Every structure is written in structure tokens, then in C-alpha cells.
Amino acid sequence: MDQAELTMEQVLKRDIPWETYMTTKLISATGLQHLRRYDKKPESERAQLLDEDGPAYVHLFVSILRDIFKEETVEYVLALIYEMLSANPARARLFHDQSLANEDTYEPFLRLLWKGNWFIQEKSCKILAWIISARPKAGNAAIANGEASGSKKQITTIDDVLKGLVEWLCAQLKQPSHPTRGVPIAISCLSSLLKEPVVRSSFVQADGVKLLVPLISPASTQQSIQLLYETCLCIWLLSYYEPAVEYLATSRTMQRLTEVVKSSTKEKVVRVVILTFRNLLPKGTFGAQMVDLGLPHIIHSLKTQAWSDEDLLDALNQLEEGLKDKIRKLSSFDKYKQEVLLGHLDWNPMHKEANFWRENVTCFEENDFQILRVLLTILDTSSDPRSLAVACFDLSQFIQYHAAGRVIVTDLKAKERVMKLMNHENAEVTKNALLCIQRLLLGAKYASFLQA
């Protein structure tokens, strides 16, 4: 039989020769007693045994996986553990019982991810995900068995496990071990594990984000909808992590998410995409991208539909308000940009409004600082004193409000041009040229103090 198509039912029908393993000292007499009480018994009896003596069974199963390498037996024990945890995922806490503090409960599953057939890999992955999620937290840090016990025995740390698991999950996304189940299993595990800071970091370092983007596309079948939902869940979790956000900004993620939200009728998919948009809206150029992609109109359309989820309705309202604000800000910068490109500047309110500069200063970075370069051209070519004065003032505002303003303006060779205007016949020009040079040489705060 193709091992990739093995089922739990087929594996659990097997009779494993436990007595033979005791004879060869691969399991103890006590271990054999435990197995005789547990194996092939009804669910209610097994549940009672786990309630009474759960850590002993975990110790036994992990020991078998560590010491016995016969494939049929490994598959069987993984099936027992999987059955035990899928019936009650809270039992994963048994793997972290204090009595197992010196046991390396992670190692067998991590090793089997790479060594076994698909049945073994899939079950090891799911079991690992359950065990990791159930581990106790010490303060803000999670502890793994062996870490808190002072044990000198080399034990697999939680960071080792998370990094090893991320490596396997990325390998599945690139080249799945199973043609139809490899990718869904990887995405399903990632959607729960990306809550962990170490997983986010390892995943981004492994260049994993780009493996998710092709999976964001409208879905129709139940199976593909679940895969899409879990992929979008991964993107949402990554939207809290700055290095991942930087990649999302330069990929086609926004376009793909927009296509999904336009065509999806599944509430949970729409919710997770809208929550992702809400997270990304204030960051970098995402707001401008959303406006360009027509998201305000899409949000308006979504609000007319009968959603039952309160979180989704709140997020739609917040996103709508945020996009209106973004459009207002973009519009004010567009007006400013138009004025500069025409080359005739005047003292309209936006030049002196602190809010305008705070909200729009990063917009000056567009097209390799195009607007700053045009301001410098005005200094070189304009004969209008008002335009010269306003251009000097705007350069000084950029220096004040942009974190790297002085460096950028210096690199653009602005100092020489402004210095020439300090001897201009118009007092308004000389005053603003002086302010610009002060901010350029002394820094914005000190220059403002002198000005006062």
C-alpha cells in the first residue's frame, strides 16, 4: 500500500508484538503493563487511564518513539498519540508535566518530520503543534521540559523545535512530501504557530512570506476555502511583525487580498482580510495602495451585506473611517504637490500647518524625493520672491519633521543654493533662507529656539 495514503483506521487495526519488545528490553515490564491496559480498549477506558496516569503514558509513548525504529510500530504509536490529542487537545499539557522535566519530549517528533513517510511526517507535525501550543509560560517566556529542571542532559530547546519545525514547513511549501496534503498541513500548522515571536522571526528569515503570496487567490471548494482562510490568517499574524510587513509592502499581497475580499462570500475569510487591512492601513505606503486598489468602494459595498460577526462590522467601520482620513491626507499632499510642480508657491495654510508636515513628510520620499528636487529647482530658477521664500521655508520644514531630513537635504546639495539667497534683496527671502540654514546646520530644535 502507498504509505502516503495510510489511514488512522488501517494503522490502529495492527497488532503490535509488545511482549517481544519487552523480551529485547526495548520496553520495560511496567511499560508492557501500561500498554496491555490501554491498547485496543474502548475510548472511555483509555480516557480514564489518561486522567489517572497521563504522564506515565506520555513517557511510555515518547520512549518507544525514541528507542524503536520499526516503521509499523512508529506509525502505530503516533496514531495512538494523535488519537489521544485529537479527542482532547488539552491532553497536550501532559507532555509538560513536571514528572517529565528530564525527558526530551520534542526530539522524536522533530526527528520523524524528516525521516519518516508521509503518515509519520503529518502526524509528527500535528502532534508537535499541539504540544508547542500547550506548553506552560513562565512570565512572558515559554519553558520547555528540561529547561527549568537544571538538567545537564542535552535536551531539545523550544527554540530548536520551533526553528526545526519552520524549516520543515517551508520545505513543504516549496516541495510538498504529499501532492495534495503537504501544503494544507503546512499552512494549518503555520496559522497556529505564527503567534510565536520565534516562529515569525524564523519564518521571515527563511524567506517564507513569499511562499504564502501565491496561495492568496479566490477559492470555491470547501477544501480550498479552508486553505485560503488559513493562509490569510498567516498574513494577518505576520502583519504584526515589522520585517514581514516590509516584504508584504513590496509584493503583490495587497492586490491578491483585495481580489479575495471582492469575490469571497465566506464570512471568516472576509473578516481576517479586513482585520489585516486595518492593521496595515497606518503603515508605510499601504494606505495609498488601498486607495489605488479601490478599497473604499469595496468597503462601502461590503457594509451593505448582512454580516453576523461583530468584529467584522467594527473592523469595516474603522477601516472606512481610516481610509477617508487617508484620502483626506493624500488629497492635501496632492494639492501641495500640484502647487510645487507648477512652480508658483504662496503662503497657503498647509505650508505652516504642523499636522500637514507630520502626516505627509514621508510622501516627500516618493519618486526619489521628486518634490524636494523641484523645490531646489525653484531656488535655482525662480525670480518670484514669494516662491523663493516659501521654498526655503518648506525645505526647513522637511528638515524639522523628517527623521533624516538634514542628511537628505545635504545630500541633495541644498545648502549652496540656499546660502546664495541669504543676500537676496527681499527680506522675506533672506529670513526664510536663514531659518533653513540654521535648521540644516544646527538641527531643528536648536534652530527653532534661536528663532524664538
**Average confidence (pLDDT) over 57-81:** 97
pLDDT higher than 70, residue 2: no
| pTM summary value | 0.72
CATH topology of domain 207-331: Leucine-rich Repeat Variant (1.25.10)
* Nearest of 70, 148, 138, 162 to residue 103 by alpha carbon: 148
Confidence of residue 341 (pLDDT cuts 50, 70, 90): confident
Four-residue CA torsion sign, 134, 140, 144, 150: negative
pLDDT higher than 60, residue 444: no
Average model confidence (pLDDT) across the chain: 91
pLDDT at position 3:
52
**CATH, domain 333-448, list 1.20.1250.20, 1.25.40.150, 3.90.79.10, 1.10.645.10:** 1.25.40.150
What is the C-alpha separation between 184 and 200, in angstroms, rounded?
19
Contact 309, 271 (CB under 8 A): yes
Question: Residue ranges of the domains in the chain?
Answer: 1-134+158-169, 207-331, 333-448
What is the C-alpha separation between 260 and 273, in angstroms, rounded?
8
* Nearest of 446, 363, 450, 366 to residue 400 by alpha carbon: 446
Confidence of residue 438 (pLDDT cuts 50, 70, 90): very high
* Nearest of 71, 87, 61, 58 to residue 6 by alpha carbon: 71
What is the C-alpha separation between 203 and 197, in angstroms, rounded?
10
Confidence of residue 180 (pLDDT cuts 50, 70, 90): very high
pLDDT higher than 50, residue 413: yes
What is the C-alpha separation between 95 and 131, in angstroms, rounded?
7
pLDDT at position 264:
92
- Print burial letters for 108-123: b (CB count within 10 Å at least 16), e (below 16): bbbebbeebbbbbbbb
pLDDT at position 82:
98
**Average confidence (pLDDT) over 394-399:** 96
* Nearest of 90, 240, 226, 118 to residue 176 by alpha carbon: 118
pLDDT digits (tens, 9 = 90+) for 213-253: 999 999 989 889 999 999 999 999 999 999 999 899 888 99
Beta bridge partners of 137: 142
